[in-house]
Structure 1
Amino acid sequence: MTFGDTTVMKATSIAKNYLESLVEELKISEARYEQVEGRYNSLGDWLNRDASRIREYEPSVYVQGSFGLGTVIKPLHADADYDIDVVCELKHLNKAQLSQATLKEMVGDEVESYRRAHAMSKPLREGRRCWTLYYSDGAQFHMDVVPALPNGRDVQLLLESRGLDASRAGTVIAITDNERLDYPQITEDWPRSNPKGYVAWFKGRMRVQLELRKRALAEAVNASVEEIPDYKVRTPLQSSIMILKRHRDIMYVKDEINCCPISIIITTLAAHAYQGEAEIADALLSILIGMEDHIQRDANGRAVIANPSDPLENFADKWAEFPEREDAFYEWLDQARRDFTEAAGLGDRHSIAATLSEHIGEEMAKRASDRAATKPSGMLRAATSAAAGTASAPSFGSTARTPTKPKGFA
């Protein structure tokens, strides 16, 4: 296959089965998912308890990042932490009422009280934009809590005034940044983000395959499609991103100059390039071919990878300041193309494992090979394994977890 061509090479059936097995090895366990969800729910309950000093502002807690997108993977090392990103959005406050510093302090005080009430030994750490809770060593994860306020109306007006797409602006949030000069001041100019809008866009890129898999699982467990939550299935887009992230992690495991391609860029370009393929191997090869086509250039030739949920944000804005990061992205993309193209053309799992071992990890490559030897392939396997109780890579979605009195989370 020549990467300038528009035709994507078809993978062998053995390679397809191997990549499906690789994703099964990369996904987190059902027990881990339930553990994270329990902590996430627990924090939301605490912030909305009767004694909470921010309860009157209707704190809404929801997950963002790879857990929200269903693309989380196991860390490279078995004892490494999972990074859980959540938003704490105070629905009944606005930027005219307080500074970023005040909001950060309000949320931080309540998160600290949660830490003490749950006898968490590690101290709360303040980051640039978040508060970080460290759970016990056995839990093996930490949670970054980002304080936020609603900011949809302001951003919608801004985007419309510039003739830009404002269809997802309603869920934009204002967030804090303690490195800004105006951090202690009351101002309308806050940093912003739109995790809910991004999740909605991302799911839209895989809507057909998401619904097909939910329908297949519903039939397998004799349930209605409406009863199947999104996190119970995993699409070829999500699976491809998981594989690419693992490849990236291995390639930059010794990154000393902070040039490792960031996940949001890989995820955004992959979602743009995805063409609805029904199998992981086909999706992966198609994505590797098409990712580069979705990097735009401004009038000065600088790279632009616009946030689909906020077109004024450029995910590649640091590339102009740090050109080594742009170089690193293209080096990684070229390497991934070579590695997975070679593997896709092979006809036995041992050769595939040997080819990919250096690029996804020797142990991971072997486990995927062993799994491929015993598992059927295709959508039916995903449906039947889920029906048997094996959780897919979690996708918490963007629905806020806000309890009513006194029932807890809806």
Structure 2
Amino acid sequence: MNVLHPGPWPTIAEYDALLMDIARRIQLTRTKHETAERNFGALCNHVDRKGSPLEDCVIECYPSGSFATGTAIASRVKKAQHDVDVVMELKVDPTTSPQRILQLLFEAINGEPGSSYHGMVTLNSRCVTVKYADGTTVDLMPIARINGPDRAGHLFHHKKETGESYHKKVNPWGFATHFNNHVDFDPAFHDLFEGRRLLVEGKIVEKADTQPMPDHVPIEEKSARVVALQLIKRARDIAYRSSSRNGLRKPPSVVLAAMALGAGPVKPSLLDEVIGIATHIRLRLTETNGVRGTVQVLNPAYPLDEFTDRWPENKTAQDLLDGDLRRLIVNLHKLRNDNLSLEEKRDLLKQLFGETAATYAIESSLDASRREMEANKLRMGNNGKVFSAAAPAVLATSTAARSATREGGGALSE
């Protein structure tokens, strides 16, 4: 049954509404979620197929990282592309040569000329990447289970350029479970976020929108902490698009997610939540307890698994992230406190989150304002400013709260 929500509208501060619209723009769609599930499922079956070098060796495959914690964002927003990290648990000796395991996985996927994935596969130091025709990728990381917590295992690392080779204790499943169990959810945030979507879209809400497929969670059902973390990741990706950072390793999403858990109670404002997480991460970045004199972040579900084993490489890399977060915080304060024109807001948001997301947010703001004007609730000035105490959102019926979902994300190239 279709339901039209004509109001009443609770209020959302305009700066929060803009951030909500940006967050909505960088989400994966239900279709992309289904594509990701289908792609990695087919790959796992392909590796385990009869005649494969790893025939009958695949125990289980599951999404990891951002895909498993619901913090993933579209890697290329204009093309709605996504990248998926997948753990492939193999029934092999955990002390097997990393080079051999990675090579076997590469051969199992790449196959013979003319086979399904031949020519689409790249061998990396810890995973094998499959790149599809539309530009989306799946990274398959093989691990072998070891004694310890549920699903703890050895990761296989081999860097052919240097010959560096070792096993690393990991538990990506444990971290995803821990993260999802420790993100706070606010039903009021859910209602405001869903209401904002309904007002911006200006259309009826079909039952399918409030009854999602299993494992795909609409953005309004996510924790405010998850959404804020997605915005921080988007800002990170934009910052690392600079040509001056070519070849630099980005701060891993799992490091940001682990540190975000310690940011204290979730704030009632999305902007304040982003600032709160960024401020807490900056505080952590003053630490120098790692082996390289840099911050050390461990998997809270399995402390033997260090997330910062490769980043930051040095204090310079750590300070680079600190500077990015400081600029993010300063600009968000400016968005909230300064009397900016619509064009100035667009430029600020473009600097932080990229042109596509910023333009979408401004257009959404105008669409929402026009709909409110139709209800004689707002008036618009000649310079595009909307005169109102706050930007509106439609109040919608609350649905079951879910803090995270399995979705894909990755490096951004807009």
Work out whether the TM-score is over 0.5. Answer: yes
Structure 1 position 361 matched with structure 2 position 358 = no
Report the 3-state secondary structure (helix = DSSP H, G, I; strand = E; otherwise coil) of the residue aligned with 1:46: helix
Q: 2:239 aligns with which of 251, 259, 264?
A: 251
Residue number in structure 2 paired with 1:125: 122
Identity fraction in percent: 18
Q: 2:177 aligns with which of 178, 200, 221?
A: 200
CA change 1:308–1:38 in 2 (3 A) is same
> In 2, Cα distance between the equivalents of 1:210 and 1:59?
38
1:1-400 equivalences under 5 Å are 13-49=13-49, 52=52, 54-76=54-76, 78=78, 82-90=82-90, 92-95=91-94, 98-113=96-111, 116-118=114-116, 120=117, 122-136=119-133, 139-151=134-146, 153=147, 156=148, 169-179=149-159, 183=165, 190-209=167-186, 229=215, 231-232=217-218, 233-254=221-242, 255-256=245-246, 258=248, 260-277=250-267, 279-295=269-285, 296-298=287-289, 302-317=294-309, 321-345=313-337, 350=342, 351-375=344-368, 395-396=406-407
Shift of 1:37: 1.7
Shift of 1:116: 4.6
Shift of 1:121: 5.7
Paired residues of 1:81 and 1:141 also in contact (CA < 8 A): yes
> In 2, Cα distance between the equivalents of 1:213 and 1:357?
26
Shift of 1:343: 1.3
Compute the TM-score of the two structures, normalised by the length of structure 2.
0.71
CA change 1:177–1:381 in 2 (3 A) is farther
Residue number in structure 1 paired with 2:384: none
Shift of 1:291: 2.2
One-letter identity of the residue aligned with 1:43: L
Shift of 1:176: 1.3
Paired residues of 2:129 and 2:137 also in contact (CA < 8 A): yes
What are the Cα deviations for residues 12-61 of structure 1, in whole angstroms up to 9, with x where unaligned?
A: 71111111111111112332222222111212233344555534334311
Gaps of 5+ in 1: 1-10, 157-168, 184-188, 387-391, 398-410
Paired residues of 1:303 and 1:316 also in contact (CA < 8 A): yes
Q: How many residues align?
A: 354
> In 1, Cα distance between the equivalents of 2:310 and 2:104?
31
> In 2, Cα distance between the equivalents of 1:38 and 1:238?
24
Paired residues of 1:52 and 1:110 also in contact (CA < 8 A): yes
Shift of 1:267: 2.3
Paired residues of 1:269 and 1:292 also in contact (CA < 8 A): no
Shift of 1:257: 5.6
Paired residues of 2:294 and 2:315 also in contact (CA < 8 A): no
Quote the RMSD (CA, aligned, Å): 4.0
> In 1, Cα distance between the equivalents of 2:188 and 2:62?
23
> In 2, Cα distance between the equivalents of 1:285 and 1:171?
34
Shift of 1:316: 3.9
One-letter identity of the residue aligned with 1:265: V
Greater fraction helix = 1
Compute the TM-score of the two structures, normalised by the length of structure 1.
0.72
> In 1, Cα distance between the equivalents of 2:52 and 2:140?
16
Paired residues of 1:12 and 1:347 also in contact (CA < 8 A): no
Shift of 1:396: 4.6
> In 2, Cα distance between the equivalents of 1:235 and 1:335?
24
